[in-house]
Amino acid sequence: MLKKYIIGMWCIALSVSAISCKKASMANNESEHQAINRIEMLFKQGGTTVSTIVAEDPDGDGGNPPSRIDNINLDINKIYDVEVKFFNISNGVTKDLSSTILQQAKQHEVYFIISGLTLPVEKKDKDDNGFPIGLISQWKTGNAVGKGTVLLKLMHKPLVKGANDDPNKGHSDIAINYTLNVK
């Protein structure tokens, strides 16, 4: 009888605790940041911004197509230091999400997938594990004259990020195709 009572009380306690528990919000939870609907790529030479490339997708990744995607126009035989910034714009308020992405660097990587031209891109920033982030990169045009494309992807890689990951590993926060002109 006592055994049944203890088991019954344990079951009631377990039921009450299960009902009262809820998932705790974590500050670095990769799914809690706001949607990215604006990207700026700042192309610099000698520390001076020579070009700012903007892409805007008001409803974020998926849904309607982007409303603005600037072309990337570069000169041959140049080296560009590139900084990528991600924003959420809603109700007239602009929030720079780049610092959040940097804080969650172990879970993020920016990819620049170039087609149609040979243009090396080197990611200059690294997370605490020494893996690339891609918010800061260096682009070398060399003799690559012509037209191509750049697919910029911000990938989420919680618990799966490695040193030389495939650009499809994880899931995409946003992916934008740019036209690339080198002359």
Residue 147 lies in a domain: yes
Residue 38 lies in a domain: yes
The boundaries of the domain holding residue 59 are 33-182
Residue 17 lies in a domain: no
Give pLDDT, residue 60: 80
Q: How many domains does the chain have?
A: 1
Residue 21 lies in a domain: no
Residue 114 lies in a domain: yes
Residue 98 lies in a domain: yes
Residue 7 lies in a domain: no
User: What's the average pLDDT block by block, 10 residues per block, for the chain (183 residues)?
Assistant: 41 33 34 81 97 93 90 97 96 94 97 96 97 98 95 95 93 95 97
pTM of the entire predicted model: 0.81
Residue 150 lies in a domain: yes
**Distance of CA 160 to CAs 2, 25, 57, 124, 156, Å?**
50, 21, 28, 21, 9
